[in-house]
Structure 1
């Protein structure tokens, strides 16, 4: 549920509008391809953490197999990835608010949503847990209800329609792939963002009762459910109406495609109900990402890899120093929303995608080293053996690099403008820090066989 909740967010509910603009109905294939990359990553991750279920997830294991520098980059990148995603989620939440308050500036809406999420994370862990439970419940329920309602309209019709809508929209208006294979591949680059957050499954490994069996099972079922949800939900959207109606002329979503479809079905207030659920979904993802990002910063501070004040906790146990540092993501999102309200979401979308790709590459490189180490120690089969190793590892690494190189073609030039300096600064910061401070060695690993 941690991985499922983290990945079911704005990438599907709002970002899908921009993704559809590149491939039309072929977006279904794009989400499948992105899902297969994510499946390989989460499978490799499950294999690692089921054998080495230690606090810190894949970042802590990366420190052992890729060196302290690799662990530093892995952990800081994951923290920054989560926090940039928070910015994208609160900006999306502000977009949803405009459905009811057209005159509400995106900047002001972003600030209000940011204050709400920050307050939740500064409160007790219990309040966070209760809020996230209900947020996740609303989110999953919304997708299931939407899919069932959409299929009933397609197959049987509704009062607002004379009969079944059918699936003609999937092959009309330019065909299934109006922009050919190139469009499908570009849409795949956009769809990668939707699967960000799956790596959060590794964070829970150390607290799992039986990680050797539970983590691989949870990882596999989680990713298949994600692919199932995404493909069915996107398929319903594309079948119910002309794909060109789901995106604005600029190629960016004016509003959630889900809300647009619900507004057309003829059920009173259906669009408003869906918009409310999507608002909750965005706040849920922001809440979860801020939680993961701030806890990772707190862990880094304890290891002297982040400012010392980030290690402080309040009387209720919340890492207030780390949360305070993490709220810089809200400042960034709010400034972008005020300065460039029409592009703020896509800027953050692109930057978060860079972080996701870096995380995936690190996981696959860690897995390559892990498997050589594991095979040298024992002949027993790993509990979640990655099919196609090591070829699949290199396919994911090459595909991740290709996606990064292609992001400017999707209109996200920010991936290069901000992403390349970010990667240079992240690596350079490790060398600077290692010279001025003695960093602790990674904890020794105990093989769980």
Structure 2
């Protein structure tokens, strides 16, 4: 099993002395159950429980096609990532793979862009949590709840990884049980033809009210931006490889099941929701789940669902903070972040990266005070850009790994990604489409500008802080 020890490059962005190895090891305490639910917790959160209202308004019932298309892209990315994670189970995961198989510069860009993505998504989750609390405390300023969420999540991320994994398991279990209950209960209403809130549930709601695709193919295409944001974070599964107790067993099982479960949850949940009430009744600005149960008039149901979507936002924020901190730890191992980022607490947690995430969330809090009504869509678009960049890096690194293996006469292992290289190329084409889509919305254009500036700053930072040679961990050499 690969060790997670640090050797910092002499041109690294921090101290040139290597920390005591005994003080910088992550704990391999995450079980298969933890890994599956951390990945589920990252991807089933604000994007589904809040952002789906935006996708429904963009495409109508045809949004289901958008989720299916994006789900196929997720599968391609996750199989590529899974093959690399089994071969190289290290902290920092795909940032390390980009550095090894593309270039040290690419590793630097991928790692920091993923950390940026996670922090931006965490800000979106924090914003959503504040919006959910308005249902119960409409007169309390949203920033109060954002501060409470920040303190809670950062506190959880300072616990031992096994405790963190267990908490995230229960957090995510609440979401999964609620989703399953909604699917089963909704289908029961549809089959029974029970009329609630003045609407008769059934498949007819897919095709009435201007048809299945009221905005045509263009509506489906335009919804893909937020759909990708919804799935962003599923790659967090790769982050767990450095702390999995048996990565060769856990990663393949998680990769094979998590993307399918996420896709099924999204499509079935939204499909049932659209059969219960017409899509035109679902507005933006609050959780569509809460809206549906409020319209149906089931006593107390809206409050219960609001509590669940609140826990979903906190769960996603929790696992995302974990992913961002472990990415920074892996970057420090490559010499792409200060060496002090690899120092861990007695609980085995990289404290400084967690503190960096907390500081960024505080900045997000101040931005919320500036543009409270626009913050979610802007950060969702920025996160989509970062997600596409990260996914494309994973696919490119996997392509290069396979080519190198072929040159060396090596055969793929037992968890080889299928349909290589066709699936990789289709995935990369999809990423290019999403970048083009972003250019057609105001929030998307702002995201492209922010993303371009971010990449430019990273390139300058790489040249100034790391140097032209870079460094890749020696234990990322190909295995036999």
TM-score range for the pair, normalised by the shorter chain length: over 0.9
Residues 1:107 and 2:107 aligned together = no
Contact 2:91 2:326 in 1 (8 A): no
Matches within 5 A, 1:361-376: 361-376=392-407
1:182 equivalent in alignment to 2:182: no
**Of the candidates 294, 309, 312, which is equivalent to residue 263 of structure 1?**
294
Aligned-partner Cα distance in 2 for 1:387–1:195: 21
Sort the Cα spacing of 1:385 and 1:127 in 2 relative to 1 into closer, same or farther, 3 A.
Answer: closer
CA positional deviation for 1:214: 4.2
SS in 1 for 2:170: helix
Residue correspondence of structure 1 range 6-45 to structure 2 within 5 A = 6-45=42-81
The 8 Å contact of residues 68 and 442 in structure 1, kept in 2 or not, is answered as no
Q: CA deviation at 1:159?
A: 7.5
Tell me the SS of whatever aligns to 1:409. coil
Deviation of the 1:75 alpha carbon: 1.5
CA distance in 2, matches of 1:107, 1:383: 49
Closer, same or farther in 2 for the Cα pair 1:47/1:300, shift >3 Å?
A: closer
Unpaired runs of at least 5, structure 1: 248-252
Per-residue deviation at 1:260?
0.7
Report what 2:11 is aligned to: none
> Which residue is 1:400 aligned to?
431
Distance 2:184 2:292 in 1: 13
Matches of 1:5 and 1:159 in 2, distance apart?
33
Aligned length in residues: 443
Q: Is the 8 A contact 2:236 2:320 kept in 1?
A: no
The CA deviation string for residues 346-366 of structure 1, in whole angstroms up to 9 with x for no partner, is 111111111100101101110
Distance 2:216 2:191 in 1: 28
Correspondent of 1:340 among 331, 356, 371: 371
Name which of 101, 107, 118 aligns with 1:71: 107
Shift of 1:418: 1.0
Match of 1:323 among 344, 347, 354: 354
Map 1:85-234; keep pairs closer than 5 Å: 85-125=121-161, 127-158=163-194, 160=196, 165-208=201-244, 211-212=247-248, 214-234=250-270
- Cα pair distance change 1:126/1:246, threshold 3 Å: same
TM-score normalised by structure 2 residue count: 0.86
Tell me what 2:459 maps to. Answer: 427
The aligned counterpart of 2:18 is: none
2:361 aligned with 1:301: no
Are the aligned partners of 1:111 and 1:330 in contact in 2 as well (CA < 8 Å)? no
- Distance verdict in 2 for CA 1:42–1:302, change over 3 Å: closer
Q: Give a deviation string over 1:234-281, Cα, whole Å, max 9, x none.
A: 11121111212212xxxxx22100111112233211010000011001
Give the SS at the match of 1:203: helix
Please show how residues 239-254 of structure 1 align to structure 2 within 5 Å: 239-247=275-283, 253-254=284-285
CA, structure 1 residues 417+61, in 2 after alignment: closer, same or farther (shift >3 Å)? Answer: closer
What TM-score do the two structures reach when normalised by structure 1?
Answer: 0.92
CA distance in 1 between partners of 2:410 and 2:216 (Å) = 46
How do residues 382-393 of structure 1 correspond to structure 2 at under 5 angstroms? 382-393=413-424
Give me the whole-angstrom Cα distance separating, in 2, the residues matched to 1:396 and 1:292: 23
Shift of 1:205: 2.9
1:76 CA displacement: 1.4
* CA shift for structure 1 position 36: 0.8
1:392, distance to aligned residue in structure 2 (A): 2.6
User: Which residue of structure 1 lines up, in the alignment, with residue 32 of structure 2?
Assistant: none
- 1:122 Cα deviation from its structure 2 partner: 3.1
C-alpha distance in structure 2 between counterparts of 1:363 and 1:283, whole Å: 27
Partner in structure 2 of residue 235 of structure 1: 271
Shift of 1:56: 2.6
* 1:137-162 deviations in Å (ceiling 9; x for gaps): 11111111111111111111448479
1:203 is displaced (CA, Å) by: 2.3
What is the CA–CA distance in structure 2 between the aligned matches of 1:200 and 1:378, rounded to whole Å?
31
Contact 1:156/1:164 (CA < 8 Å) preserved in 2? Answer: no
Alpha-carbon spacing, 1:301–1:47, altered in 2? closer, same or farther (3 Å): closer
* C-alpha distance after superposition, 1:363-414 (max 9, x if no partner): 1110110111122334534423333322332222222122112114244222
CA distance in 1, matches of 2:296, 2:318: 31
Cα separation, partners in 2 of 1:55 and 1:127, compared to 1, 3 Å: closer
Q: Deviations over 1:185-211 (max 9, x none)?
A: 111222001111121222233455654
Task: Tell me whether 1:417 sits opposite 2:449 in the alignment.
Answer: yes
Question: Taking structure 1 as reference, are residues 446 and 213 closer, same or farther at Cα in structure 2, changes over 3 Å only?
Answer: farther
Range with bigger deviation, 297-306 or 218-227: 297-306
